[in-house]
Homo-oligomer: A and B are copies of this chain.
Amino acid sequence: MREVAILGVGLNKKWGELWRMSGRDIFVEAALNAMDDANVDHIDSMYVGCMTSGLLIGQEHIGCLMADYLGSGPIPATRVESACASGGAAFRQGFIEVASGLNDFVLVGGIEKMTDTNDDEAIDALYAAEDVLYEAYQGVTLAGLYALMARVHMQKFGTTSLQMAHVAAKNHKHGAMNPVAMYPFVITAEDVLKSMLVADPLHMLDCAAATDGAAAVLLCPLETARKISKKPIVKVLGSGQGSSAIALHARKDMAVLDSVVKAAEAAYKMAGKTPEDIHLAEVHDSFTIAEIMALESLGLVEPGKGGPASESGMTALGGKIPVNTSGGLKSKGHPLGATGVAQVVEVALQLRGAAGARQVKNARVGLTQNLGGTGGSCVVHIFEAV
């Protein structure tokens, strides 16, 4: 397999309720930003990560649609869907394609247009990430399922609502420094605990918001990047993907994310790294408990120590291992398909030393973890500044 590098990264200007832009407008903005950043005007192939375009805007077949609107037809353009992990899964396909030698300049984009609808339709669309026959038909929402996982985690490890609240407060503190973020303001752990209960024990401020947004990354062979890039080079060191029982009731242990364990194992192995080598991580905080469980399943902390680590500041900027310096899904917003790609954008900026006020000092190795649904699928990537 060829070595692969990140040549360019881009987001659309601002995530949020973008009622004046269509999904294709938002995607093209992010993709052009990534091509500008890479200083190339041509791509060989494209992947688009997206979950809900069919259910929320009635549009499937968005691989070729986005290539068309980007002006990049007639290139191969493929849409990848893995619920909330669609962006990470699309990134992995781009990585595999460049690694295979088939094509050199491969653009991976993620897009979700979620606000041109009403709450009922949005909830219906999110149900589709669950096991529809055995979970959604019983009426349990994603927040409900995460609440169940949180309860198990609390019972097993003594995790507290305050610890979860600290995850949200920390991510908002980071996100307040990110101009793209949908909610770029500071909140306290107390604010989280005082906010409305959505699904006990999860409060409204424990939950990330569905929104509109896009992200894009341009990949190429490492050798090519060394020749043409004028920016610090970020290598894709490892790629791992895993799955697990999609329904909660079919899992051995609801307090462990099997798909994360499997994806991380594969990514660490390919990268030749261990959790101790990771300087910063972007993890999937769709709910605060998800970040806590991710820290544990990735091996960044011991099982059961995700809560205390979050409360202690270990995962904040300036801590031992800063997590979600971008603001995470919580503060930045969670346009599903864009999320996994935007995680890569943040880590690439950090490893280039170009993250501005959010910069992690001496960051050389970073990790991204993108989760689908309640963990039926997971994609993990590891990157290094080379």
Contacts and interface: CB of A to CB of B under 8 A. Distances in A.
A375 B259 CA distance: 36
A102 B241 CA distance: 12
A96 interface: yes
A286 interface: no
B82 A78 contact: yes
Interface residues of A, number: 64
A196 interface: no
A246 B65 contact: yes
Interface string A52-74: 10110111110111011000011
A93 interface: yes
Interface stretch (A127-135, A153-161, A163-171, A309-317): A127-135
A358 interface: no
Contacts of A250: 68
A78 B241 contact: yes
A74 to B, nearest CB: 4
27 contacts: A45-B241, A51-B60, A54-B54, A58-B128, A59-B133, A60-B83, A61-B83, A61-B130, A61-B376, A64-B246, A64-B372, A65-B246, A68-B245, A73-B243, A73-B245, A73-B258, A74-B243, A74-B262, A78-B92, A78-B93, A78-B377, A79-B80, A79-B81, A93-B96, A99-B100, A99-B101, A100-B101
A250 B65 CA distance: 12
Nearest to A48: B81
Most B CB atoms within 10 A — which of A52, A61, A373? A61
Interface string A9-42: 0000000000000100000000000000000000
Interface in A200-252: 241-247, 250
A219 to B, nearest CB: 13
Per CB-CB distance, the 6 closest pairs between chain A and chain B, nearest first, are A100-B100, A76-B241, A61-B83, A64-B243, A64-B376, A60-B128
